[in-house]
Amino acid sequence: MTEPRTVVQQLVTANLILANEGVLDAFGHVSVRDPDQPNQFLLSTSKAPELVVAQDIISYGLDSEPVAPPTAALYAERYIHGEIYRARPDVLAICHHHSPAVLPFCVAGKPLVPVYQHGAMMGAHVPLWDSRDDFGDTNLLVVNSEQGASLARSLGDAKMVLMRHHGATVVGADLQELVFRAVTACKNAEFLYRALALGAVEGLTAGEVEKAARVPPMAMARAWQLWAGRVA
Ligand code: MN
């Protein structure tokens, strides 16, 4: 058997890290744009991220359908990935999750604003997608290209979008940046939730967000090394 490609191994590690750090649980998923085929992306078949191995990773087109006939069930919400890759050429990695850290903000509709250094990675404004705007009452899942495209429009040029009563979708310029942003955004949500219990909260200023968001790749590599070590 041939060795899995490096990008596949990195995607497996991203699955394990995001599960271990409390971003993903039985549900949610993480993908990466294929570096050799920009109109395709790599994503596991339907499996809890903590259990994903290289053999589960398959290629999808931007229509979010598998390139080769699948031999396993697929994630129902894979359309999130294809439609964001289609709308955002700058996005090379995507995570969709339902972390308990962000769900209170999705339910209450309160703004998720950066309140600490690495929270700035989310960007100053995290939009909230309301599926009712385009589709009325649904089962809350993103199960076709039209719904994925609606979510991508709500994301706009942001780094993360909250999904009303559902979860969040985070994007990155590579897997390392994506994982860093997904984990630190959940930490920021926890800090903000706790701080609000203490009283009114003032977020970072626009200038602070702009400066603090420029996290050096070396710092993100340091975090990846720690988190990958925990799942090795
Ligand atoms: Mn979901």
Strand partners, 97: 168
What is the tens place of the pLDDT at every residue in 138-163? 999 999 999 999 999 999 999 999 99
Instruction: Give yes or no for residue 4 having a pLDDT over 80.
Output: no
CB-count exposure of residue 218 (10 Å: 0-12, 13-18, 19+)? exposed
- How far, in Å, CA of 63 to CA of 65, rounded? 5
Residue 217's domain comprises 4-231
Of the candidates 205, 163, 160, the residue with the CA atom closest to the CA atom of residue 181: 160
What tokens appear for 186 in the block?
A: 């959940």
We report the CATH number of the domain holding residue 210 as: 3.40.225.10
Ligand 1 centroid, distance to 192 Cα (angstroms): 23
Query: pTM of the predicted model, to two decimals?
Result: 0.97
- How far, in Å, CA of 68 to CA of 51, rounded? 22
Ligand 1 centroid, distance to 210 Cα (angstroms): 29
CB-count exposure of residue 69 (10 Å: 0-12, 13-18, 19+)? exposed
The reported pLDDT for the residue numbered 2 is: 65
What is the tens place of the pLDDT at every residue in 184-229? 999 999 999 999 999 999 999 999 999 999 999 999 999 999 999 9
The reported pLDDT for the residue numbered 1 is: 54
Catalytic residues: 77
Q: Quote the DSSP letter at residue 56.
A: G
How many domains does the chain fold into? Answer: 1
102: pLDDT confidence band, cut at 50, 70 and 90?
A: very high
What is the tens place of the pLDDT at every residue in 37-69? 999 999 999 999 999 999 999 999 999 999 999
